[in-house]
Chains A and B, each alone.
Chain A
Amino acid sequence: MTILDVKGVKKTYVPRFGGAPVEALRGVSFSAEEGEYVAIMGESGSGKTTLLNILAALDRPTAGTVTLDGMDLGKIREDRVAAFRRESLGFVFQEFNLLDTFTVEDNILLPLVLANQPAGKMRQRLKPLVERLGIADLLKKYPYEISGGQKQRAAVARALITNPRLLLADEPTGALDSRATDELLALFERVNRAGQTILMVTHSVKAASHASRVLFIKDGELFHQIYRGDMDNERFYERIAQALTLLTTGGEKA
């Protein structure tokens, strides 16, 4: 079943003080199936982040539609967007984006509190989740007291606690050392195997090699895509690396 459908999405920024309009996205189309693990790769300035912001309903496309779970994001009323984001989407960022004024526990509970869930129900959801992610004994700590890998796991817990339809990750391994990166990627794989749809924007070939499909974006357009098929991670890694070389040396569109 198709969970995410992106059709002909364009985004043009008009500079505030005149000047030529900048086309960040020039018509991107793709879709993702339920339970898929999709990585989006591309160089800086290729339009990855713009695309992610549009998928997150933080930004609206100039043209084209994004349909999540049968719902057209462009048609959601402004005052429902936040609730939609809260209920259907989970976010993981490069810089973790934990609120430094909250304990780990409160950071994870934040989306539920915003959704006005009763305190009892929150505990019920929190407990199994933090045990699965191995952060059960960090709950009372503040973000500044824990390591980067732990912060990112807390951020994943915050993203997952609402059981979102789609987990959006923006360069999630970007600020982690190699050990923490491995741990996080293993975690994403486990979560995905349990049925969670994931869409991850990344620079890292290693991170992308854990996905089931990789999309390549160049200059605001979808350039290429590779399916894992029955390749193992190492083989897939090589294929992605080749595709990237092609991308940067300016090959023709696939």
Chain B
Amino acid sequence: MKGLYRRLAFGAMRKNYRYYLPYILACLGMTGMYFILAALSEGEILLSFRGGDIMRTILHLGCGVLMVFSLLFLFYTNAFLLRRRKKEFGLYNVLGMGKRHLMGVCLWEGVSVALLSILGGILLGLLFSKAAELLMVHLLGMRTDFRLRINVAAMLQTAAVFGVIHLLLLLHTLYQVARTDPLSLLRSESAGEKPPRANFLAALLGAVLLGLAYYLAVSIEDPVTALIWFFVAVILVILGTYLLFISGSVALCRLLQKNKRYYYKTNHFVSVSTMAFRMKRNGAGLASICILCTMVLVMLASTVCLYIGSTDSLMQRYPRQILLSARLGALSAEEEEALEALRTAALTETAQCGLAPENTLEYHLLEASVYRRGEDAHVAGTAPYDEESELWELRIAPLSDYERLTGETVDLADDEALYFATQGRVLEEETLRLQGGPALRIAGQAEEIPALGDDVANVSPVLYLFVPNFEEVALPLLALTNSEGSSLADISWTLGFDTDGTDQEQMLLYEDISQALEALKFDLPEDSYVHARVECRAEQQEGFYSLYGGLFFLGVTLGIVFLFAAVLMIYYKQISEGYEDRARFDIMQRVGMTRREIRRSINSQVLTVFFLPMLTAGLHLCFAFPLLYRLLILFGVMDFALLMQTTALCFLAFALLYTVVYRVTSGAYYRIVSGVGRGEA
């Protein structure tokens, strides 16, 4: 008896290889990918790497996402397989097998698939983990050797996670077999299907939700708000897509059917009515494919853009190799003296390291947070916050610094100012009244400014004002205090320079300057202060690349997984529809449709079903684009053209791959459909 279960289970799997093979491959692939991510995140390679923590966190996140996704996806495919097998179970039941025996067969099947896919998946993961490691190392700008490391902890973790998933799948299968009456299953496939009823309300709701999501995506300007509403928009898009695909499509077909003149035409008649059924059955599947595609596209576009833009944003954040900066309480002779001491200390240390500063950058800024409301700007802390104003960071710099650093000459009257705003903001007001200071006429906008530093990733918009008479504008602000008497604005001073040293030398220099700064003592008035610090690009870049490269790596790996999941769903859809269409194909031929007409009609339906998700995903992506742009600003990537290019490229590459999948799976579909012999009836 035991041998019989095994033979039945393996026999069924061999006979239904068209269904089982992709399923097993999917299990293998998911297991392998999970193992790779787990092995990388637990591996020793990251321990030696500065910024490895960030990468590890990102990889852990990836593992979690993959685990949840695997569970959902394998349940979906398993349910699909189960539906196909019900008829066979019914037959076994008629032949005298009880439910216990059927469960025995299922047990054999489940356990063997689980063992095969876990062991095979880990093996597959081992084979590819070195390649993945090299890719990661390359993305992160690290070095590694070519030794193959076997990570036992990751293996156990993978086996445990997928063991549990397969156990759940098995329990679900057994439950299904136990719950249903196999005799009725024998007939289940040929049972009449209810015609789709158009649910116009749901269709309308779907359109409204999607419209709302699109509106949110397009209208939000502020990155922080964008971050909050991003998830709302995602959920709205998902709901809207499902509703539209499931109800909207059927409703559309029904409307077309009501239009007699359109409907009763040879090329519309069959397509429209079959589409209604097809969409009823496949709406949810297609919507899932669409969501998966959108996820792949958004993830790839943004992570690729981040990765390519990472050097740029590193340069923006750290405009020079060494950055010495200080916050000052005032700008009198004592502070000037302190700054001179800082300057000397930095230059002396540099000389002692045998390096020469070059490309020097030095400037002053007045910094304050202000509430802006139209033309008025109140320094935060002086007045209670009211809902209608918006928090901005204000930076005021002497025009002379701007001219010196950019090499431009700008002619401004005493009450005029040149401005620059981050996050792509534009000032609409012509004048700006600073609290306690003069009204400034906005004379123009600077295209870009030499150094942004921290402000690259400031969540509030930052407004730079370049004024001819710095003291007159800045000093009144400096005098403002809150109710406790502490100052609300301060002066920042920055000195940056490059050297001709290697990364290693730069980091040594950085250490030296840090120590020198600690040793410095300033002679200052009681209410003033000088807080100095030093930053080094070389010291920061690994963390930078680790974050951006890590996100990119994760984007690519998860993108691959989602893509293959979408491909598999499409494949299952194609072959299951192939069997359904086969009978229909035969009848149509008998009532006088030519093979060419049938082929054309089926072709157009298959094309619609296939490319609808991709085109919808493209549309989603278009609307997600402005939102993505705002979000990337938070990461310091502001290159609109770059995001545009990467998005377009990702979509093109994706469309190409999708079309290849279409060619391959529609081949399988036509093989099934044209298996209809002329004489079979």
Contacts and interface: CB of A to CB of B under 8 A. Distances in A.
Interface of A: 49-50, 53, 56, 58-59, 79, 81-83, 85-87, 89, 91, 93, 95, 97-103, 106, 109-111, 113-116, 119, 122, 142-145, 158, 170
B588 A99 contact: yes
A82 B594 contact: yes
Contacts of B592: 82-83, 85-87, 89, 111, 114-115
Given A59-B678, A59-B679, A113-B265, A119 B591 contact: no
Contacts of B681: 49, 53, 93, 95, 170
Nearest to B595: A82
A99 B592 CA distance: 14
Interface residues of B, number: 30
A106 B253 CA distance: 14
A184 B589 CA distance: 24
Interface string B586-601: 1111111111110000
A38 B269 CA distance: 34
18 contacts: A49-B679, A58-B678, A58-B679, A79-B594, A79-B596, A82-B595, A85-B591, A91-B591, A95-B681, A97-B587, A101-B584, A103-B195, A111-B591, A113-B269, A114-B269, A116-B266, A119-B264, A145-B192
6 closest A-B pairs by CB? A144-B192, A86-B592, A82-B594, A113-B269, A142-B195, A97-B587
Nearest to A100: B193
Nearest to A83: B592
Nearest to A144: B192
Contacts of A82: 589, 592-595, 597
Given A50-B679, A99-B584, A58 B266 contact: no
B273 A106 contact: yes
A26 B400 CA distance: 107
A103 B124 CA distance: 52
B276 A56 contact: no
A102 B584 CA distance: 11
A110 B266 CA distance: 9
Contacts of A99: 273, 584, 587-588
A114 B195 contact: no
B678 A110 contact: no
B675 to A, nearest CB: 13
B582 to A, nearest CB: 13
Contacts of B261: 119
A100 B586 CA distance: 13
Contact of B266 (A103, A114, A143, A170): A114
B194 interface: yes
Contacts of B277: 100-101
Interface string B91-135: 000000000000000000000000000000000000000000000
Contacts of B193: 100, 144
Interface in B229-267: 260-261, 264-266
A56 B260 contact: no
B151 interface: no
Given A83-B594, A99-B587, A122-B264, 16 more contacts: A50-B679, A59-B679, A81-B594, A82-B595, A83-B592, A89-B592, A95-B681, A97-B586, A97-B590, A99-B588, A101-B273, A110-B269, A111-B591, A115-B592, A142-B194, A158-B591
B274 interface: yes
A199 to B, nearest CB: 15
B260 A119 contact: yes
B276 A101 contact: yes
B384 to A, nearest CB: 66
A144 B276 contact: no
Most buried by A among B195, B260, B591: B591
Contacts of A170: 681
Contacts of B276: 101
Contacts of B266: 113-114, 116
Interface in B272-330: 273-274, 276-277
Nearest to B277: A101
A170 B681 CA distance: 10
A49 B594 CA distance: 21
Nearest to A13: B679
Given A101-B273, A119-B260, A170-B681, A58 B589 contact: yes
Contacts of B269: 106, 110, 113-114
Nearest to B195: A142
Contacts of A85: 590-592
Contact of B590 (A58, A87, A106, A119): A58
Contacts of B594: 79, 81-83
A144 B194 contact: yes
Contacts of B679: 49-50, 53, 58-59
A49 B590 CA distance: 14
Contacts of B273: 99, 101-102, 106
A145 B192 CA distance: 8
